[in-house]
Structure formats: structure tokens, C-alpha cells
Amino acid sequence: MDEADRWRSMASAPKDGSRILVTIRPSEQGPAEVDLAYWSHGDQFGAESWRASDSSPGQIIEYAEPELKCWMPMPSANLASLSMPSPWEGDDAEQLDGSGI
């Protein structure tokens, strides 16, 4: 498996505003999902946080740290595979070095 196609601990996620794929933890609202997100240093529309990439002024979708399980870089364009990867479903502590708390 290519290094770019590997889920990583959120502690190592870039906070430079670049878009990344994130696994959102399962909750009462539904199963785990993958979303495109970026780190925002905060602005007049919201505080410093992870935001969904489809956020817009007046419609900010923010994720709290505990909501996000892991991340991976955006995959390179590959016309043979035009789908999102599956959410991470492994054991957090063993595979990602994180407590999830």
C-alpha cells in the first residue's frame, strides 16, 4: 500500500490549512464516515478548529478533536479509482497511538 493511502493519528495531522481526509468517529447520529477537512486558525466566522471543506461563511461545520479518529493525505488523481477510502475501523490504541478521548 502506498504511504499516502494510510490512515494516521490526528496528532500528526497538518494544521497549515491544507485539505485532508478524516475519519469521523461513529456516534448516535450515525456510523463512521470519511470527510474532507482542513485546520482553520480561526476567523470572524468561528474559532480555531477542524472544519469540513464544504463550510462557508455563516455555515461553518466544525469538528471537535474527539470527533475525528484519524487522517490521511488527499490521494493523487487516479481515474481508475474515483471513490473515497473506507473509514478506519481498526483498534485506535494499537494502530494509531491515540486514546480517542
Structure confidence at residue 42 as a pLDDT band (50, 70, 90): confident
The yes-or-no verdict on residue 1 having pLDDT over 50 is: no
Residue boundaries of the structural domains of the chain: 3-73
Predicted pLDDT at 3: 60
pLDDT digit string, tens, across residues 47-98: 788 999 887 777 888 999 899 999 999 887 666 666 677 787 777 655 555 5
| pLDDT at residue 99 is higher than 60 | no
How buried is residue 95: exposed, middle or buried, by Cβ count under 10 Å (0-12/13-18/19+)?
A: middle
